[in-house]
C-alpha cells in the first residue's frame, strides 16, 4: 500500500522545520518563505563587518590646536588669578623677559590693593602662531569696585597678548589697552 501524503501534511512538516531552523539548505527563512542561500548570509556578514570597521578613533588634535588650547587655558588662569587677587599665581604667568615688567607689576599690585572686587571678561578674537611666540588679539570689559557703596570703575578695550611657546605659555607682552593694571592714581 503506497504511502499517500497530502499537501496539508507537507505544509505542517515545513512549518515545524522553519520554526526549528531545519531548512533543506541549513540557512534561515527569507521574507518570501524560501530559505536564504548561504551567499546572502556571507554578503550580510561582509556588509556589517565593513560598517563596523569604518568606525574610527577620534582624531588627535594638531600641535597648533594643542598650543591654542594651552594659550586659552593660560589666559583663563591669569584672568582668574587677577580677579581673585592672587598675586603669586598672577605673577607666575608672566615671563621673566616681560616687557616693562617692574612697571607692570607695580600697576597690577595697585589694582589688587585698591579694588575690593574685580570682574573681568576677556574674549579671544584671533590667535596667531609664529615660531618664537603666539599672539592673541582679545577684547575685554571689566568692572572694578573699591567699596560696596562707591561707584565702580568700568572699562573696556582691545589688546594683543604675546605669549611664549612651550608646554606652559607665559605672557611676554601686552600691546594696546591692557586689562590688568588699570589703576592710574585717583579715582
Tens digit of each residue's pLDDT (9 = 90 or more) over 62-109: 888 899 999 999 999 999 999 999 999 999 999 999 988 999 999 999
- Is residue 171 within 8 A of residue 94, CB to CB? The reply is yes
pLDDT of the residue at 9? 60
Q: What b-and-e string marks burial along 66-96, b requiring 16 or more CB atoms within 10 Å of the CB? A: ebbebbeebbebbbebbeebeeeebbebbbe
Least confident residue range of 45-49, 52-56, 130-134: 52-56
pLDDT of the residue at 37? 65
Confidence at 58, pLDDT banded by 50, 70, 90: confident
Q: Strands of 153-164's sheet, edge to edge?
A: 117-129, 133-145, 153-164, 171-176
Say if residue 5's pLDDT is above 60: no
Looking at residue 144, the DSSP 8-state letter turns out to be E
Mean pLDDT of 171-183: 91
Q: Where in the chain is the domain with CATH 3.10.450.50?
A: 63-176
Measure the CA angle with vertex 165, ends 162 and 170; round to 5°. 60
pLDDT of the residue at 109? 94
CATH of domain 63-176: 3.10.450.50
Say if residue 51's pLDDT is above 80: no
Residue located via cell numbers 570689559: 141
> How does pLDDT run across 109-167, given as a tens digit for each residue?
999 999 999 999 999 999 998 888 899 999 999 999 998 888 999 999 999 999 998 88
* Region for 37 from its dihedrals, namely left if φ exceeds 0, alpha if ψ lies in -120 to 50, beta otherwise: beta
Question: Hey, which of 45-49, 115-119, 182-186 has the most confident mean pLDDT?
Answer: 115-119
pLDDT of the residue at 26? 52
Distance CA 158, CA 176 (A): 6
Amino acid at each position: 500500500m503506497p504511502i499517500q501524503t497530502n499537501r496539508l501534511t507537507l505544509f505542517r512538516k515545513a512549518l515545524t522545520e522553519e520554526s526549528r531552523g531545519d531548512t533543506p539548505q541549513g540557512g534561515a527563512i527569507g521574507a518570501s518563505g524560501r530559505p536564504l542561500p548561504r551567499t546572502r548570509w556571507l554578503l550580510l556578514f561582509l556588509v556589517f563587518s565593513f560598517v563596523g570597521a569604518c568606525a574610527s578613533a577620534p582624531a588627535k588634535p594638531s600641535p597648533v590646536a594643542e598650543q591654542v588650547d594651552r594659550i586659552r587655558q593660560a589666559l583663563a588662569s591669569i584672568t582668574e588669578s587677577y580677579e581673585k587677587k592672587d598675586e603669586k599665581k598672577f605673577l607666575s604667568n608672566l615671563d621673566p623677559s616681560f616687557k616693562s615688567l617692574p612697571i607692570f607689576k607695580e600697576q597690577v599690585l595697585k589694582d589688587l590693593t585698591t579694588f575690593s572686587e574685580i570682574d573681568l571678561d576677556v574674549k579671544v578674537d584671533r590667535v596667531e602662531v609664529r615660531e618664537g611666540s603666539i599672539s592673541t588679539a582679545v577684547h575685554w570689559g571689566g568692572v572694578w569696585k573699591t567699596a560696596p557703596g562707591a561707584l565702580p570703575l568700568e572699562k573696556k578695550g582691545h589688546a594683543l597678548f604675546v605669549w611664549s611657546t612651550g608646554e606652559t605659555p607665559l605672557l611676554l607682552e601686552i600691546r594696546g589697552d591692557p586689562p590688568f593694571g588699570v589703576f592710574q592714581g585717583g579715582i
